Amino acid sequence: SLVQRDESADEQTRREQIFASAQERYYASPMQIERGWRHHLVDTTGRAYVDMVNNVTGLGHGHPGVADAVNRQIRILNTNSRFLYRELAEYSERLLALLPEGSDLDTVLLVNSGSEAVDLALRLAQAATGRKTVVALREAYHGWTMASDAVTTSAYDNPYALENRPDWIHVADVPNRFRGTYRGEAGDTSVGARYAADLGGDLDALAASGRHIAGFICESVLGNAGGVLLPDGYLAEVYDRVRVAGGLCIADEVQVGFGRMGSSFWGFEQSGVAPDLITIAKPMGNGFPIGGVITSKRIADALTTQGQFFSSAGGNPLSCRVGLAVLDAMRSEGLQQNAHFVGRRLADGFRALAEQHDIIGPVHGEGLYLGVELVRDRETMEPATEEAAAICERLRELGVIVLTTSERSNVLKVKPPLCLTEESADFVVAQLDRVLSTGW
């Protein structure tokens, strides 16, 4: 038979024996995934799903250009001792060329993951300023290493740190205009100004108590909160205030950068700001582990005060070749443009569903980073958390992989490979309509 035996029960038992319980998995009883192709995943029974959660495989699964690059380069050279490698310079130059015109960032440090990138950016900010304190926003996820976890402020992802956060971190209010301290419409600049003024108050209080800041870190679009766009004017004013206070501005673009926004390559361009440090990872390698920090030479050179910087695999010729293949494919396949057009169609589809289904609250995001917030009441914004989980389970039965995010786990996070087609976008909207119309 072409349909294989369902091995997922065996695999789950195996996993439970070997893995730590903190190593979470999706779904009550997950399927065993065996293959991926473009924006589809296939399980061991031969069932195919539209993959709406894989923002790591930005190009899509099984990309032949990446496969060929790995194959070719690993046969030629893959070592990362301290010699010169053409691939490293070529890839770093290509990354810098992606920055908006007029950017003065000119230096790239390559590592292997987003957590490492955030860790390094924090260290760079501290080294360059000679200060320690970092300001992070509530409800953020920035990684699992000691430092990136310390600035991970989401109660869902890091409950431990609510009570035990290291004292070099200050947590500022999250500027969520839909359900936060201040609420308002998209164009209402007073909302962003009020959040920014509060953050300015925090900076003054920190300075008054002798805690001078090294930097400020946030996602340029609040990915972990569900793709919530920052209020108009917020980031520009916050960056100004941080700089006046002597700190550096770090944009965590691990999730929202790299073409996913569609209308801009970087998330920070949505706010018209210029960060001092940018962290990148996930889609850089389309699943191959690559991460990096883009900054200025002045900041990067401050690392010498701490000795050498070296990562055994970070920036090796193989990962650079993969990174180049990803950038080539993004360009030749027009993936940022596709994110723009298909993302808009998807968002329009979700917004149209909201007219028929009261459980849909705001639809967040831009391009192919969207969040469909499910609420029991649009006024109180009471989160429909249990409903969201049940809807995801039902969508899975209908062939759509979509999962929840935010601290309240009530936002359907929509961040598929950037090659998502209009046809599949329509299919996803139709399946959500079906679930909401027929029950879950």
Laid out side by side, the sheet with 48-51 consists of 33-37, 40-43, 48-51, 400-401
Question: How far, in Å, CA of 293 to CA of 165, rounded?
Answer: 24
Q: Which amino acid is at 275?
A: P
Question: How far, in Å, CA of 335 to CA of 368, rounded?
Answer: 10
41, 1, 32: which is closest to 14 by C-alpha?
32
Taking CB under 6 A as the rule, does residue 276 contact ligand PMP? Answer: no
Residue with Cβ nearer ligand PMP (254 or 429):
254
Residue with Cβ nearer ligand PMP (174 or 384):
174
Residue with Cβ nearer ligand PMP (255 or 338):
255
Structure tokens at 203: 């900076």
Taking CB under 6 A as the rule, does residue 415 contact ligand PMP? Answer: no
Q: Exposure of 163 by Cβ count < 10 A (0-12 exposed, 13-18 middle, 19+ buried)? A: exposed
Q: Residues 22 to 41: which contact ligand PMP by CB under 6 A?
A: none
Minimum CB–partner distance for residue 187 and ligand PMP (Å): 26
Minimum CB–partner distance for residue 143 and ligand PMP (Å): 4
Residue with Cβ nearer ligand PMP (255 or 424):
255
Minimum CB–partner distance for residue 362 and ligand PMP (Å): 21
Structure tokens at 262: 């569609």
Question: How far, in Å, CA of 241 to CA of 307, rounded?
Answer: 31
Q: Residues 78 to 137: which contact ligand PMP by CB under 6 A?
A: 113-115, 118
Q: Are 268 and 220 in contact (CB under 8 A)?
A: yes
Minimum CB–partner distance for residue 221 and ligand PMP (Å): 10
Minimum CB–partner distance for residue 258 and ligand PMP (Å): 12
- Region of 139 (left: φ > 0; alpha: ψ -120 to 50; beta: rest) is left
Q: Are 368 and 346 in contact (CB under 8 A)?
A: yes
Taking CB under 6 A as the rule, does residue 281 contact ligand PMP? Answer: yes
Minimum CB–partner distance for residue 368 and ligand PMP (Å): 15
For strand 291-295 and strand 360-366, is the pairing parallel, antiparallel, or unpaired?
unpaired
Q: Which of 44, 73, 92, 255: binder of ligand PMP (CB under 6 A)? A: 255
Taking CB under 6 A as the rule, does residue 141 contact ligand PMP? Answer: yes
Taking CB under 6 A as the rule, does residue 254 contact ligand PMP? Answer: yes
Question: How far, in Å, CA of 45 to CA of 5, rounded?
Answer: 6
Q: Which of 36, 143, 192, 314: binder of ligand PMP (CB under 6 A)? A: 143
Which residues have CB under 8 Å from 93's CB, separation 6+? none
Taking CB under 6 A as the rule, does residue 223 contact ligand PMP? Answer: yes
Q: Per-residue string for binding with ligand PMP, 163-202, x by CB under 6 A?
A: ----------------------------------------
Stretch that binds ligand PMP, among 128-136, 138-146, 196-204, 265-273 (CB under 6 A): 138-146
Taking CB under 6 A as the rule, does residue 314 contact ligand PMP? Answer: no
Residue with Cβ nearer ligand PMP (194 or 413):
413
Taking CB under 6 A as the rule, does residue 275 contact ligand PMP? Answer: no
Taking CB under 6 A as the rule, does residue 149 contact ligand PMP? Answer: no
Helix ranges restricted to H, 77-219: 86-96, 114-129, 146-150, 161-164, 189-208
268, 275, 273, 276: which is closest to 299 by C-alpha?
276
Taking CB under 6 A as the rule, does residue 237 contact ligand PMP? Answer: no
Residue with Cβ nearer ligand PMP (319 or 424):
319
Three-point CA angle 239, 243, 245, nearest 5°: 120
Q: Are 263 and 271 in contact (CB under 8 A)?
A: no
Taking CB under 6 A as the rule, does residue 219 contact ligand PMP? Answer: yes
Stretch that binds ligand PMP, among 34-42, 126-134, 161-169, 251-259 (CB under 6 A): 251-259
Question: Where on the chain is the footprint of ligand PMP (CB under 6 A)?
Answer: 113-115, 118, 141-143, 219, 223, 252, 254-255, 281-282
